[in-house]
Structure 1
Amino acid sequence: MGKILNIIFVGVLLGIGFISCGDDGCMENRSSIPLIAFYSDADTTQKVNIDSLTVWGIGQISDSLLLDTVSVSQFMAPLRDGMDTTKYVLRYDQKNLNPRYKFDTLTFVYHSDIKFESAECGAMFNYIIEDFKYTTYQLVSAKLLTRKIDNMNIENVKLFYHVEEAE
C-alpha cells in the first residue's frame, strides 16, 4: 500500500509541475516590432498596397531582407537589440518609376527598455523611439503614431504616398 501511495504522490507532483511549466500565461505576441502601414496622402484613412516592394536593413550583420518584390499594405520592421539605430531601405520596383526615385530610407533612433513580463514569459525588449527620419523620393510623408514600441499588435508608423486617381 505504501508503494502505491508513493507512486500516486509522485504522479500528482509531476502533474502539478507540468501544469505550472506551461506558457499559457504568456501573451501570444512576445516580440516588440514596429508595424508600418501604407496610406494615401489624399485620404489618410485609405490603406494602399505598394506594388513590387523590397525592404532590407542597412548595416545588418546577417541577411536583413524583409520583403522581396512583393505587393503589401504593411510590414513589420524589427529593431536591433543592443543598438540605438536601425535603418531600412524601401525599394520600389514598379517599372513605370524613374530609377532615380526608386528608394526611400526609414531611420529609427531609440533606446531599449527591458520589461519583465512574468515567470512563464520571462523578459522582453520594448523600445522608446527618440527620433524617426525618412526620405521623400516616393514617400510623401510619414507619421510616428507611438513612441513606445511594445508587443501590442498596432500600427506604429504610417507612410503616406501619392495615389493616382482612377478615371
Structure 2
Amino acid sequence: MGSRERRVVFVTVGTTCFDALVKAVDSEEVKEALLRKGYTDLLIQMGRGTYMPSKDSGNSTLQVDYFTFSPSIADYIREASLVISHAGSGSIFETLRLGKPLIVVVNEDLMDNHQSELAEELADRKHLFCARPQTLQETVESMDLNNLLPYMPGDANQVVSLINKFLGFPVD
C-alpha cells in the first residue's frame, strides 16, 4: 500500500463561499466515484464557506484534508491529478495553462451568472468538464480524460500592436 502512487483531486472555491460544491465533493457518492477512478487523495480549499468537510473518509480509503485560504494555489494545482473548481475565470485559466484535467462546478446561486457561460463554452470546446453540485457524481463517473483537448491561449501580440499604434507608441 505504501508504494501506491498518489493521485490527488484538488478542489478550489477561490475566495468565495461555495458550500454546495464542498458538500458535493464531501458526499460518500462523489468520494466513492473518485476512488473508482483511481484517485487516492482529496484536498479541498473551502474559502469563506462554513460547511466543514469530513476528514473521516467513511467506507472509502480516500485521504481527505481541507484548508480555507492559501497565498497561492498554483502548487496545489501543479500537484493535482484532477482539479474540481468553481467557475471563476482565474482558477479556470490557471488550471488549463498548467495542463490539468478540470471539472468546473457552476454556482447556480449567483445572480447573472456569466461564469456559467465561460465554463459551458470551454466544455463545448472540450477543454474541461462542466457540472452543477447535484451532477458532480455523474460527471466524475462519466468523464473520460482522453476526450479533453489541450487549451492553447491566444496570441495577444496583434492586440498589443494595435493598442500601441493607437496610442502612438513604436510598433515592432
TM-score range, shorter chain: under 0.3
Higher helix share: 2
Higher strand share: 1
TM-score, reference length from structure 1: 0.23
Q: Please say which structure displays the higher CA radius of gyration.
A: 1
TM-score, reference length from structure 2: 0.23
